[in-house]
Amino acid sequence: MPDDYNTDSIDRRKILKGAAAAGLVGIAGCSGDGGDGSDGSDGSDGSDGSDGSDGSDGSDGGDAETRLSWHAGGTGGTYFPLSNEFKTIVEANTDFSLNVQSTGASVENVGSLADGSADFALIQNDIASFAKNGTGIDAFQDNAIENLQGVATLYPETITLVTLAENDISSVGDLSGATINTGDLGSGTQVNAVQILESIGVTDYNEQNAGFSQASEQLANGDIDAAFVVGGWPVGAIEDLANTNDIEIVPISGENREAVKEDASWFANDTIPGGTYSGVEEDIETVAVQAMIATNAGVPADTVETVTAAIFDNLDELTIKTDFITVDSAQDGMSIELHEGAASYFDA
């Protein structure tokens, strides 16, 4: 990223730092106690799971030694339904039970893994790298999360910039002066959105922060002009919006895409196929990061190996992202040290 941020950019970085604070409380000194991940890189309005229907109250049973906490993302994205498919597979093939929780952000998830409140989480590979190396964003600057470890990478997390057709926004540059939902405060989505806007030189915008489902409602109500969504396509919240409104997916292509990748090496080229969303018939060029399963050094090796084996030995039971999640690609884009339990499985 460029070093000459303007004042607005610095202020947004401070917002990220403050938003992450709650999820990162107690990180200092954490070195490897067991934990539970807290994801939200695909956004979360926190509306799900409050009644414990996803097992968040521990109603899925099991004793303390076999009950594992798995933090996912918002119901409007991909992390939450995929995590619940993992839950079904793990519980059918092992003695472990998974408590899948909806959360607000990748940054928050890292904090949960670090402080021992999570055993596994889905996070973005760029956020994982920032956390492990104590760099990238203020939340982790000089505060490396040394006990964070990787399990497997899963699929590209596409950066989708969505607007309504009536808003007449056809490129990222058209967002100057616009009201933009950049994702939940502290989320991987917000980090990526701010990175992209800065790289392309868009600085004079009004930033709103909410998860995917709420952002979709904001667009439909005319409260915002555009929203960034990070997740594997199709994203449920965008599908729902497209079924009731004429939408446009704004491309991140050409010189804009090259500028984004030059500033942030973890971005890769990606394309949203035409027909993915109702009314959007042409392929849309954009960029992507990588979704991954993370854990912490305090989770026993045999636990991680057992859970990893259950998932990757039974991939035929998945219905989400089946074209991307494979044993052969499970270390592509792995940005942090692999947990010894995962290494035992993939090296076998």
Per-residue pLDDT reduced to its tens digit, 274-290:
999 999 999 999 999 99
For 228, list phi and psi in degrees, rounded to 5: -90, 135
Summarize the confidence of residues 246-270 as an average pLDDT: 93
Domain-embedded: residue 2: no
Write the secondary structure of the chain as one string of H (helix), E (strand) and C (coil): CCCCCCHHHHHHHHHHHHHHHHHHCCCCCCCCCCCCCCCCCCCCCCCCCCCCCCCCCCCCCCCCCCEEEEECCCCCCCHHHHHHHHHHHHHHHCCCEEEEECCCCHHHHHHHHHHCCCCEEEEEHHHHHHHHHCCCCCCCCCCCCCCEEEEEEEEEEEEEEEEEHHHCCCCHHHHCCCEEECCCCCCHHHHHHHHHHHHHCCCCCEEECCCHHHHHHHHHHCCCCEEEEEECCCCHHHHHHHHHCCEEEECCCHHHHHHHHHHCCCCEEEEECCCCECCECCCEEEEEEEEEEEEECCCCHHHHHHHHHHHHCCHHHCCCCCCCCCCCCCCCCCCCCECHHHHHHHHC
Q: What pLDDT is recorded for position 270?
A: 93
C-alpha gyration radius of the chain: 19
Average pLDDT, the chain: 83
Domain-embedded: residue 51: yes
Q: What pLDDT is recorded for position 15?
A: 35
Residue that is last in its domain, among 289, 315, 331? 289
Q: What pLDDT is recorded for position 336?
A: 94
**Is 54 in contact with 87 (CB distance < 8 Å)?**
no
For residues 211 and 254, membership in a common domain is answered with: yes
Per-residue pLDDT reduced to its tens digit, 74-114:
777 788 899 999 999 999 999 999 999 998 768 888 989 99
Domain-embedded: residue 56: yes
Q: What pLDDT is recorded for position 63?
A: 66
Q: Is 35's pLDDT higher than 80?
A: no
For residues 310 and 276, membership in a common domain is answered with: no
For residues 129 and 53, membership in a common domain is answered with: yes
For residue 274, give both structure tokens: 């035409």
**Is 27 in contact with 111 (CB distance < 8 Å)?**
yes
Q: Is 293's pLDDT higher than 90?
A: yes
Summarize the confidence of residues 15-44 as an average pLDDT: 35
Per-residue pLDDT reduced to its tens digit, 111-164:
899 998 999 999 999 999 999 999 877 788 888 999 999 999 999 999 999 999
For residues 313 and 268, membership in a common domain is answered with: no
Residue that is last in its domain, among 244, 265, 289? 289
Domain-embedded: residue 1: no
225 vs 169: CA distance, rounded Å? 8
**Is 289 in contact with 192 (CB distance < 8 Å)?**
yes
For residue 66, give both structure tokens: 């076999």
For residues 285 and 307, membership in a common domain is answered with: no
Residue that is last in its domain, among 272, 289, 306? 289
Q: What is the CATH number of the domain that holds 70?
A: 3.40.190.10
Domain-embedded: residue 309: yes
For residue 39, give both structure tokens: 């994801």
pLDDT-derived band at 51 (thresholds 50, 70, 90) equals: very low
For residues 41 and 127, membership in a common domain is answered with: yes
For residues 318 and 266, membership in a common domain is answered with: no
Q: How many CB atoms lie within 10 A of CB 10?
A: 11
For residues 103 and 174, membership in a common domain is answered with: no
**Is 292 in contact with 150 (CB distance < 8 Å)?**
yes
- CA atoms within 13 Å, Cβ hemisphere of 336: 34
Three-point CA angle 81, 82, 86, nearest 5°: 120
For 54, list phi and psi in degrees, rounded to 5: -100, 15
**Is 226 in contact with 169 (CB distance < 8 Å)?**
yes
Per-residue pLDDT reduced to its tens digit, 171-192:
999 999 999 999 988 778 898 9
Domain-embedded: residue 280: yes
pTM exceeding the 0.75 threshold for the entire prediction = no
Summarize the confidence of residues 297-315 as an average pLDDT: 98
Domain that holds residue 208: 7-12+158-289
Least confident of 52-61, 159-168, 329-338: 52-61
| Residue listed under structure tokens 């058209």 | 174
Summarize the confidence of residues 44-73 as an average pLDDT: 55
Per-residue pLDDT reduced to its tens digit, 210-238:
988 999 999 999 999 999 999 888 898 99
For 165, list phi and psi in degrees, rounded to 5: -55, -35
Number of domains in the chain: 2
For residues 82 and 63, membership in a common domain is answered with: yes
For residues 304 and 252, membership in a common domain is answered with: no
For residues 149 and 268, membership in a common domain is answered with: no
For residues 330 and 239, membership in a common domain is answered with: no
Q: What pLDDT is recorded for position 64?
A: 65
**Is 116 in contact with 122 (CB distance < 8 Å)?**
no
Q: What pLDDT is recorded for position 14?
A: 40
Q: What pLDDT is recorded for position 304?
A: 98
Which residues contact residue 246 at a Cβ distance below 8 angstroms, ignoring those fewer than 6 apart? Answer: 164, 165, 166, 279
Domain-embedded: residue 109: yes
Residues in the chain: 348
Taking alpha carbons only, the member of 230, 247, 149, 145 closest to residue 184 is: 230
